[in-house]
């Protein structure tokens, strides 16, 4: 039996059981904002740092501080475009995208390029 696999599924992607478990358990067990370490349930910051350590090892980053969690892919692309690329791009540089890019992956690069041209 042959089955099709649709890879461009963004936020609607099926999630592994470990992710589903974490999504349901975390709000039940840890109920705070991670940066607020002074709260009595200061477990979320430790949990977040632990997850960042796991991701750091997975992507072979040098330091856990190189790992930044975002709400999703669009926010992550916007963050990279505005904080990393914007200060480095110069007039006549080229940003190369494919014709199959999702709108959310075109807008931040277009905005970055437009801002550079005006400089």
- Name the DSSP class of 89: -
Residues 35, 61 share a domain: yes
Q: Is residue 6 part of a domain?
A: no
What tokens appear for 107 in the block?
A: 């807008």
> 78 and 113: one domain?
yes
Residues 86 and 101 occupy one common structural domain? yes
DSSP annotation of 100 = T
Q: Which of 23, 48, 66 is the last residue of a domain?
A: 66
Calculate the average pLDDT of the chain: 77
pLDDT tens digits, 18-34: 878 877 877 776 665 55
DSSP per position, 24-84: HHHHHH--S-TT-TTSTTTHHHHHHHHHHHHHHHHHT-S-GGG----SSHHHHHHHIIIII
Q: What pTM was computed for the model?
A: 0.57
> Is residue 96's pLDDT more than 80?
yes
The verdict on 48 and 87 lying in the same domain is no
Give the structural domain span for 40: 15-66
What is the number of structural domains in the chain? Answer: 2
Backbone φ and ψ of 2, nearest 5°: -100, 135
């Amino acid at each position: 039996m042959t089955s099709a696999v649709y890879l461009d599924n963004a936020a609607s992607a099926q999630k592994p059981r470990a992710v589903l478990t974490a999504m349901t358990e975390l709000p039940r067990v840890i109920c705070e904002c991670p940066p607020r370490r002074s709260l009595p349930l200061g477990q979320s910051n430790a949990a977040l740092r632990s997850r960042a350590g796991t991701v750091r090892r997975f992507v072979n980053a040098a330091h856990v501080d190189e790992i930044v969690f975002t709400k999703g892919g669009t926010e992550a692309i916007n963050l990279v475009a505005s904080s990393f690329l914007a200060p480095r791009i110069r007039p006549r540089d080229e940003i190369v995208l494919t014709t199959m890019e999702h709108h959310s992956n075109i807008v931040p690069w277009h905005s970055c390029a437009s801002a550079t041209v005006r400089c």
